[in-house]
Amino acid sequence: MIGYVGSLQAGTPAGFFGITNRPDELVHLLLDVAERQR
């Protein structure tokens, strides 16, 4: 699971692959997950 939030706090919740409040970083997280699915 990837989280996209308005206000980022320290740490990643359990069960999340990543969490960000930046659109460019969101794209990178999505690409990382897609690569791992192959």
What are the helix (H) ranges across 1-38? Answer: 23-36
Separation CA 36–CA 14 (nearest Å): 19
| pLDDT value of position 26 | 94
State the Cα angle at 3 between 34 and 13, rounded to 5°. 110
| pLDDT value of position 10 | 79
Contact present, 22 and 11 (Cβ < 8 Å): no
| pLDDT value of position 23 | 94
Tell me the pTM.
Answer: 0.74
| pLDDT digit string, tens, across residues 1-38 | 888 888 878 777 888 888 899 999 999 999 999 999 87
Query: Residue 10 is part of which domain span?
Result: 1-37
Question: How many structural domains does the chain have?
Answer: 1
DSSP letter for 14, please.
T
| pLDDT value of position 25 | 94
Q: And the tokens for 18?
A: 């990543």
Separation CA 2–CA 16 (nearest Å): 6
